[in-house]
Amino acid sequence: MKIAVTGATSMIGCALIRECIANGAQVLAIVRKETKRIDHLPQSPLLEIAYAGLDELDTVSGSGFDAFYHFAWQGTMRAEREDPVMQERNIRSTLAAAELAVKLGCKQFVFAGSQAEYGRVEGVSTPETEPHPETAYGMAKLSAGMLSRKLCEKNGLTHIWTRIYSVYGTMDNAGTMPDYAINCFIKGETAKFSTGRQMWNYLYEDDAGKLLFRLTQQNAPTGIYCIAGNEPMPLRSYIEIMQQTFGENAVCEFAPDSDTIPLGIQADITKTVQAAGYCPQIGFKDGISKVIAFKRAKQGE
């Protein structure tokens, strides 16, 4: 199997690439020339690197590819998510990625959508849940998914539209809840949270990589697939597991309970599990233990 990936140095990109290599698949990692995360990529004779920004995808060449994964996206930080001009650029770069997939001879195009496409959802969201995005980021993801699907249909490619929820791991971005909490614990500071009563769905990076790889390996049909964990629980329960796993120096503080339970994030992954032939295996306690050990080692503890 031969696979191309944009956003290859991201947490999800690296997880996918590790899984590809473990299964003997050749990988073309498309990365920005100025990236500072090139050392995140594994060393393997199965991995080739092409340097190209999102506005330079037409410079990438090759043939005989099977699948194209488009993970790259500008403006993912909170302040940039409401920038309509930046988000519109992402729609164009997604179409450029789909055109590159056609050029490389791919049979499958995997688009990394987001739970933000749904907007506010009471209860569990499914691939059939009607999207009502509220942010420019969610609107752009939805538009990019719809338009790239049209382009793929026109060119005979399977369009696998993944909607990704709360993936965490050793390469998580700064500022996420696990990153914030563990950094507080390491510094001996109190980690402060809301009531944490909203339901959540965390998925460890390695399980995300396996699900994403197997969707193409198992020839999943065109459709929407939720990528999330299979142990939904209140956010506070996740935080308490982190606290217990870290040890006695971990101190948390929660806001007082109120009568209103905020909307959380839950996904039905039945369709994904059936199409991929794989169910997430790494529980949150085991996954967060790996993250804590990684961050402690990185900070010289």
b vs e for 6-36, b when ≥16 Cβ sit within 10 Å of the residue's Cβ?
A: bbbbbbbbbbbbbbbbeeebbbbbbbbeeee
Tell whether the model's pLDDT for residue 264 goes beyond 90.
no
In the block, tokens 């460890």 appear at: 204
pLDDT at 298: 83
Q: Where are the domains of the chain?
A: 2-166+203-227, 173-201+230-265+283-298
Quickly tell me which residue has 């056609």 as its tokens. Answer: 102
Chain segment 209-249, per-residue pLDDT in tens: 999 999 999 999 999 999 999 999 999 999 999 999 999 88
Rounded to two decimals, the pTM is: 0.95
**280 token code pair:** 């997430």
C-alpha span between 70 and 252 (Å, rounded): 37
Question: What is 52-107 written as a DSSP string?
Answer: --TT-GGG-------EEEE---S--SGGGTT-HHHHHHHHHHHHHHHHHHHHTT-S
Its CATH class, for the domain covering 2-166+203-227, is alpha beta
Average pLDDT, the chain: 94
Determine the distance from the C-alpha atom of residue 274 to the mean position of all C-alpha atoms in its chain, rounded to a whole number: 19
Task: Give residue-wise pLDDT tens across range 119-163.
Answer: 999 889 999 999 999 999 999 999 999 999 999 999 999 999 999
The domain covering 173-201+230-265+283-298 belongs, at the CATH homologous superfamily level, to UDP-galactose 4-epimerase, domain 1 (3.90.25.10)
